Structure 1
Amino acid sequence: MAGVEVRVATRDDLEALTALLQRWGSDDDPDEKVVRYRERLATNLENATHHIVVAVVDDAVAGYAAAQDYGPALDQDRSIARMHDLWVAPVARGRGVGTALFEAVRDWAQREARIGMLQWQASDVAIDFYRTLGLEAEDASQPRADFALEVHLPGRDD
């Protein structure tokens, strides 16, 4: 996407990501949730089972996505990965940032030969975004608040 750079997050991104989360909240002082988020993010950046990417627009971090490889179940050879977060700052929405972040996570899952499925749940406000990517919940009867999605990666289904 022109104007959007997506790259693997580093410890140098901690402050920018923490600031994004803080602005996402309602007040200017870091609350306990923001402090816990920063601590978990710092730990997950060092964890090989986690994949965290940032989107940079106009030289500033404008969003991020975080996924985790849970490994295979005892009766399977393939892993299931879960996308925990995909968030774009309001000022960067509608510029392809969310799509670029989603594609980066999907590409990571496809590159990792052990991952057979990428799953996540969409918040009510994000459902329409995922539909623009051509994705639908597998169970159309689900309430909108539980819009669970998964992508079966090519050649990896049981």
Structure 2
Amino acid sequence: MGALEVRVATRDDVEALVALLQRWGADDDPDEKVVRYRERLASNVEHPAHHVVVALVDGEVAGYAAAQDYGPALHQDRSIARMHDLWVSPAARGRGAGTALFETVRDWAEREARIGMLQWQAGTVAVGFYRTLGLEAEDADAGRGDFALAVHLPGRDDA
């Protein structure tokens, strides 16, 4: 495997991520989706409540993960963070990039003192990947084939 690096995404990474979406995405309306994706990604890489990281393999962007801190509920001191995306290009899968992206988002959530839980959903195709990380789905949405997952971060849950 080539050199793997995970770092915080910048505006300079947006076009590389858009190019990956265009290359590997399969959508009925790709042009409209790409425009929306580019706009949201450019906004999120600079938004303080969002945490977007990229995986580089041999210096080339090969995937990303995006999470958001929703802030604390009115009755709690802890926040819930949601991982919106974790995606690695098919050409780079199986080489540690997905695990590194997930661990980077998890580390970010654990460092943020107010975050007590990291949640996300995964399609059936990704459940095996999350099981290799020792995680299990909490429930399934039978209509969409999505599984809800959550990690309770140490020392931050209100018991």
Q: TM-score, normalised by structure 1?
A: 0.92
Q: Deviations over 1:129-151 (max 9, x none)?
A: 00110100234x76482311000
Distance in structure 2 (CA, Å) of the matches to 1:59 and 1:51: 21
Distance in structure 2 (CA, Å) of the matches to 1:94 and 1:37: 25
Alignment map for 1:48-127 (pairs within 5 Å): 48-127=48-127
Q: Alpha carbon RMSD of aligned pairs, Å? A: 1.9
Q: Deviations over 1:80-109 (max 9, x none)?
A: 000000000000000000000000000000
Gaps of 5+ in 1: none
Structure 1 counterpart of 2:74, one-letter code: L
Counterpart contact for 2:122–2:146, Cα < 8 Å: yes
Distance in structure 2 (CA, Å) of the matches to 1:63 and 1:35: 18
Structure 2 counterpart of 1:138, one-letter code: E
Structure 1 counterpart of 2:136, one-letter code: E
1:153 is matched with which residue? 153
1:3, CA displacement in angstroms? 2.1
Instruction: Say which SS state the counterpart of residue 56 (structure 1) adopts.
Output: strand
Distance in structure 2 (CA, Å) of the matches to 1:83 and 1:26: 22
Gaps of 5+ in 2: none
Distance in structure 2 (CA, Å) of the matches to 1:155 and 1:17: 35
Structure 2 counterpart of 1:145, one-letter code: G
Distance in structure 1 (CA, Å) of the matches to 2:125 and 2:61: 22
Distance in structure 2 (CA, Å) of the matches to 1:19 and 1:84: 19
2:35 is matched with which residue? 35
